[in-house]
Structure 1
């Protein structure tokens, strides 16, 4: 396993609707392992393939609290099959928008169908933080960032700050 560079917004790969994975092979399993390692290293609780520059429908999640046994989820081609009418609001952040947080309202509960890393069809029912994280990461593979759920004013303010930070990051890497 190895960590991968996390793509920062604004970047067009983060706005790309990802393509389904046709064949779950060793390469896909390696990508999932690398994504998990990258997520843990960041640290974060979820990561989608576009965040490491790949336009594949892959996400990894682990919402276990610090000190708890890790509970990694690797999801291939996830899709929401049901969502509740009841809503909940969480303060969300994103590894592709470091340092930026905002309250986002989403369905309180979801069911998600996906393939696991061995190609088996699975479904997970989730509420609370896991439901929010699943929706956030599935948004990523559909080219949607959490800031797209905010007002244009807030979104543009964050994107201007990110453009500056991204430029500074590039200058620091070059130095």
Structure 2
């Protein structure tokens, strides 16, 4: 990825270089893994473990070349997401990208416009589908130190905030599709170019029960 102009929406906890140096890249969970299909727990401890988790999320997002990543996508069922995302869909070379993290996020629609654009997900590798989303939203939550944060985004950044908060509620973008469109998207999944967590097999599930 070329050098980016980056605006740090939530500067607490260091810049990207700090997170990349401290973080560990973890494999991504994929559709069917139970951790993706249940609501994540609120964060109550704003300590070192949370700081490491945020750094791991940034490192994992860089490995998978995503623009957003929720904690349950690396197997941690806590309400945290990170993002490194432009606002426009064309991702112009000179565009400023937004970087940040939000703990215990709540998304509020702050505009009347909507957009229906193709959406993908690191947890559904290779597949894309058109999903209507609000074109302008505000996400509120906390930073690593427990300080309140508020970030407004439009277009692709707004979609990112909605997509990642959906993850923390136990939903994938697939859940916004018709049954037919969902089956089509699942059929388009391909081998990812990044490490993933193997899903439990039926035999493993039977052994655990």
With the length of structure 1 as denominator, give the TM-score of the two structures: 0.86
**What RMSD over aligned residues (CA atoms) do the two structures have, in Å?**
2.2
Kindly indicate which of the two structures has a greater share of residues assigned to helix.
1
Q: CA separation of 1:33/1:70 partners in 2, compared to 1, >3 Å: closer, same or farther?
A: farther
CA drift of 1:21 comes to 0.1
The correspondence of residues 21-170 of structure 1 with structure 2, limited to 5 A, is 21-64=43-86, 65=91, 71-159=98-186
Structure 2 segments unaligned to the other structure (5+ residues) = 1-22, 199-209
SS at match of 2:101: strand
CA drift of 1:161 comes to 6.0
Say if 1:10 and 1:159, in contact at 8 Å, map to a contact too: no
CA drift of 1:67 comes to 7.4
With the length of structure 2 as denominator, give the TM-score of the two structures: 0.73
CA drift of 1:77 comes to 0.3
User: Aligned pair count?
Assistant: 167
Say if 1:90 and 1:132, in contact at 8 Å, map to a contact too: no
CA drift of 1:83 comes to 3.7
Say if 1:58 and 1:78, in contact at 8 Å, map to a contact too: yes
